[in-house]
A = this chain, B = another copy of it.
Amino acid sequence: MMPSELAELLARRRAGWTLPQAFFNDPAIYRRDLERVWRTGWLFAGHACEIRQPGDFFLVEIDADSVIVVRGDDGAVHALHNVCRHRGSIICTEPAGHVNKLVCPYHQWAYDLDGRLVAWRGMQPELRKEDFSLHRVHVREVAGLIFINLARSPLPFAAAEECLAPLFRPQGLERAKIAKTVDYLVKANWKIVWENNRECFHCNVNHPQYTKANFDHYNADDTAPRIRDEMAAAAAHVETKWAAAGIPTHKQTGMTKFPDAERGIWFSANRTPLVAGWVSESMDGRQVAPLMGDYRDPDVGTLRARALPNFWNHSSCDHSVSTRLLPAGPQLTAIRVWWLVDEHAVEGRDYDLSRLLPFWQLTSEQDWLICERQQRGINSSAYESGPYSTFKEYNVEGFVRWYLDMLARES
C-alpha cells in the first residue's frame, strides 16, 4: 500500500461511522498497525507475580516479535528482544520458565538478565561484546502490572502510572498468584475486539451473566428512573464507605469515557459499584475466593482498567481478571485471559475454578464469537461503513479516533 492509498482511505473515513473494510483485513494496513500502534504504544505484557524470582521469565509474542520479560538479578523487570545478536535464533524457546543467564541454544552466546553479552566462543578478537547486547525493550512495572514498549523513544508512561498505581494499590496484585490462564486465537482483527469492548450496547442480549452484576449496559438516554435511582443509591452508599476505608475511586457508575484521543489518553481506571447484593463478578455475585490485597470488606465494587492497545482488567474483592490482546495477523488476534487470586489462596480449599472462571470465561467467549461474526460480514464486498450511535457508541468512535491518530503519527 502506497502512502497515497492510505491517505485516500483515511480521507474516505466518515467521522462517526465505522472504518472502511481495508482497515480490518488488508495486510498492508495490518503492517502499518504493527508499526504505528504495536511498536509504538505501551503494551500490557503480564503480571509481576508471574516472575517473582530473579531469572523467572515469560515471553510475549507481538506478531513475529518475541520479547523476553525477565526478573533481573537486581529484582527489576527487564524486557529484551528474544533474538540472538549472532545469527538471530530465538534464545528462550519455552513460553515461560527460569534461567540463570540467557544462553542462545545455537552457539551458546550468553547474555546477562539485563541483556548484556557476557560470553561467546570463537569470535574474532576485533569484535567487542558491548556492541552485541540484546536489543532492549522499555518496561514499566506498576502495581503488579508489567507494560512494555518496543519503540526507541516511547510515549511517556508517567501519567498512566499516576492513574493506575493508586487505584490498583489495594488490590495487591504483587501479592497475587495466577489461578488460571486461557488462551484464545480469535479470527478477527484486533480493532474489532476493541470496538466490541468499548460499548455495552450489545450487552443486554449477548451477556446475560455480565448484565446481572453491572450497571454499565444502562445508558443515560434510555434508563428508567428506577434504575437511575438504584445506580445513584449504590454510588452514594459506596462513596462514603470506600472513603472511610481509604479505597480510591472515581465517581463513575456508567460506561467510562475512554479513550480520549484529543488529550492523548490511552489508559484509564475507575472503581464502580456492583448491583445491590453482589460483591464479586461471579455467577451468583457471591465471593469465590479470599479477599485480596488490602481489602477487609468484600463490598468494594469492581475496579476496572483499560489501556490501549491491548489490556483490560476487572477486579473484584476476591479475584482479578486481566485480558491481553496481541495481533497475530490481519484477521487474527491472540487473546489471553488471566484469573488472579491472593497468593496464599489454595485451590480446592480457598477457591474452585468452577466457581471462579465462568463469569468472565462466558462473557469473554460471547464477545469473541461476536467479533468473528463482525469480521465475516466486514469481509463482504457489500460491507460499507455504518453509523455509530452517538448515545451508546461514543467510546467506539473515541477508539477509532485514537487509532487514526496513532496511524498518522510520524514514526
Interface residues of chain A, those whose CB is within 8 Å of chain B, are 18, 34, 39, 64-66, 81-91, 93, 105-108, 121-124, 127, 132, 135, 150, 195, 201-202, 205-206, 219, 221-222, 370, 373-374, 376-384, 386-392
Contacts and interface: CB of A to CB of B under 8 A. Distances in A.
A377 B83 contact: yes
B381 A65 contact: yes
A374 B89 CA distance: 4
B382 A81 contact: yes
A107 B18 contact: no
B377 A90 contact: yes
Contact of A390 (B105, B124, B373): B124
A370 to B, nearest CB: 6
A135 B377 CA distance: 12
B124 A370 contact: no
A7 B124 CA distance: 29
Contact of A105 (B34, B85, B222, B373): B373
Contacts of A205: 105, 108
Contacts of A124: 387, 389-391
10 contacts: A83-B383, A84-B377, A88-B383, A89-B376, A90-B373, A90-B374, A91-B377, A107-B201, A122-B219, A124-B387
A69 to B, nearest CB: 14
A64 B381 contact: yes
Contact of A382 (B65, B87, B106, B381): B65
Contact of A380 (B82, B374, B387): B82
Contacts of A391: 122-124
Contacts of A206: 105-106
Given A89-B376, A122-B391, 11 more contacts: A18-B88, A34-B381, A39-B381, A81-B382, A83-B383, A87-B386, A88-B378, A108-B205, A121-B201, A122-B219, A123-B391
A370 B106 contact: yes
| Leading 4 A-B pairs by shortest Cβ distance | A81-B382, A64-B379, A90-B377, A88-B378
A381 B222 CA distance: 48
Given A373-B93, A387-B127, A380 B202 contact: no
Nearest to A204: B108
A202 B93 CA distance: 16
Contact of A88 (B93, B374, B392): B374
A45 to B, nearest CB: 15
Contacts of A135: 382
Nearest to A62: B381
A215 to B, nearest CB: 16
B132 A89 contact: no
A305 to B, nearest CB: 25
Contact of A87 (B195, B376, B380): B195
Contacts of A389: 122-124
Contacts of A387: 86, 123-124, 127
A382 B134 CA distance: 9
Contacts of A82: 377, 380
Contacts of A90: 373-374, 376-377
A395 B377 CA distance: 37
The interface centre, meaning the residue of A18, A93, A106 with most chain B CB atoms within 10 A of its CB, is A106
A106 B188 CA distance: 15
A130 to B, nearest CB: 14
Contacts of A108: 205
Given A87-B386, A107-B201, A373-B106, A380 B122 contact: no
A382 B132 CA distance: 13
B370 A81 contact: no
Contacts of A88: 18, 374, 377-378, 380, 383, 386
